[in-house]
Amino acid sequence: MKDKLMEAILKVAEKLQTNRYMSAIRNAFTALLPITICGAFSVLFTSVICTPNEQGISLANFEIFRWLENLNPMFDAAYYATLNFLTIGLVVLIAIELGKQYGIQQDMTLPLVALSCYVTLCATTMIVTNDQGISFDVADVLAVKYTNAQGLFMAMISSILSGEIYIRLVKGGKMRISLPETVPSNVANAFNVLIPGVVTIFIISGIGLLFNEVFGYSFYDAIARWIQAPLTGVLTGLPGYLLLFWVSTLLWVVGIHGTQTLGAIYSAPMLLALTENTDAVLKGLEPTNILNTGFISCFTIITGAGITGGLLIAILLFSKRDDYRTIAKLSIAPAIFNINETMTFGLPIVLNPILAIPFMFAPVISATFAYWMTVIGFAQVISFQVPWTTPVGIMGFLATGGHIGTAITQIICVALSVVIYTPFVLISNKQAQMEENQA
């Protein structure tokens, strides 16, 4: 019965992991991570180092460092090139990844076609209101909502749709233009993909037109209303968030990298929530999205999935088992940088019925605690993405632009996980004792 249940869980997880669209989206987001972190640091440098700020902390508040203000254009440009241009990168990356799945990773036309298709779905005129309240149309511009994180969902759908159409047309081979053998291969290849490329762009552009004419609103608005808003609502609400990460730890317990497997589902809404916070900080507003990518790193998978830093401390304090203590000592250095494979596979936690229980509940309790600490104002809403390998405390401090309360909350979360793991470490002591007596 237990085996059957585990097999069923694994089959679902495998389906999710091997799905080519999920895989393309997941890999694309993984490749985008350094870009979002660079963007977040640009905003951090601008607001905490280079801009004089009477209400908050800033290095430029000191007269001796006032020259740092001159560096702001560099960080502003870096912010625009990274966080404000995120969606364009995602379109290109998903197309490349999809091509890789179909074995045509060297086809450079595919990402370009995907990008063109995406742009055909974007409105190129926008209404601008001036200081006197008069509105007028500005033509031939691409609004920032299409290039920053707000466009992530349309980017995913359009890139997959255009990629799929293009690849099928190219692989079908019926639209190839036959050229004499004397024509160089690179020229012949360009002609081979010409008609599939043009047809794909026309189809996607036609879909955009259809939405405008039939439904009365754009493809972007349709996705924002029907997909983006409900999904973001579920995942950035506490119950949906907790369920997702509980399932993630459940996958870990059966030996699967849960965070990666479910990454494709939560990456876009969580990143959108974080970049909205970053934008708000840059505009001098209050960030409002408590649950976001940064929150995951800061409070849900801190010291590794399952918050195993707590287990490590509990073992060092209370365990009488030599095998546990040896592995815990070896795991101290990786745990500082939130790497816990030595614990999950070394103890192991995987398929361990005693340690699996706190492993699945520690992140849920930690996330709930941190959520309410943020609601009451002790911790601050996470607004900047920092590398997930940043140690506890420093991560919370940096991710909020220098808020001590958030750093303390992070440390309390690890302390909480020590409390959660301790009874189970004591049970494992007794279990080892019983096994020894039986032997």
Partner 1 sequence: MSKVELTETQKNIIQIRKRMNRRSIEEEKFNGFTKKKMWTYLWIFLFTPYGIYRLFDENNEFLYQQKVVWLIVGIVYIVCMINQFIHIF
Site string for partner 1, 102-121 (x = CB under 8 A): ---x-----x----------
3-state secondary structure of 320: coil
Query: Which CB, 10 or 119, lies closer to partner 1?
Result: 10
Which one of residues 25, 92, 301, 386 is an interface residue with partner 1 (CB under 8 A)?
Answer: 92
Q: What is the DSSP string of 60-124?
A: GGSGGGGGGGGGHHHHHHHHHHHGGGHHHHHHHHHHHHHHHHTT-TT-THHHHHHHHHHHHTS-S
Check residue 276 for interaction with partner 1 (CB under 8 A).
Answer: no
Check residue 85 for interaction with partner 1 (CB under 8 A).
Answer: yes
How many whole angstroms separate alpha carbon 107 and alpha carbon 170? 10
Q: How many CB atoms lie within 10 A of CB 355?
A: 26
Check residue 395 for interaction with partner 1 (CB under 8 A).
Answer: no
CA 169 from chain centre, in angstroms, equals 32
Check residue 296 for interaction with partner 1 (CB under 8 A).
Answer: no
Which one of residues 52, 334, 346, 387 is an interface residue with partner 1 (CB under 8 A)?
Answer: 387
Residue 241 token pair: 């968030």
Task: Quickly tell me which residue has 């020590």 as its tokens.
Answer: 418
Which one of residues 48, 68, 89, 146 is an interface residue with partner 1 (CB under 8 A)?
Answer: 89
Check residue 35 for interaction with partner 1 (CB under 8 A).
Answer: yes
Q: Rounded to the nearest 5°, which phi and psi values hold at 234? A: -70, -50
User: For the chain, first and last CA: distance in Å?
Assistant: 29
Query: Which CB, 17 or 236, lies closer to partner 1?
Result: 17
- Shortest approach of partner 1 to residue 88 CB, angstroms? 6
Name the DSSP letter for residue 146: G
Query: Which CB, 11 or 325, lies closer to partner 1?
Result: 11
Which one of residues 101, 189, 205, 260 is an interface residue with partner 1 (CB under 8 A)?
Answer: 260
Q: Which residues of this chain interact with partner 1, rule CB under 8 A?
A: 3-4, 6-7, 10-11, 13-14, 17-18, 26-28, 30-35, 38, 73-74, 76-78, 80-82, 85, 88-89, 92-93, 96-97, 105, 111, 254-257, 260-261, 387, 389
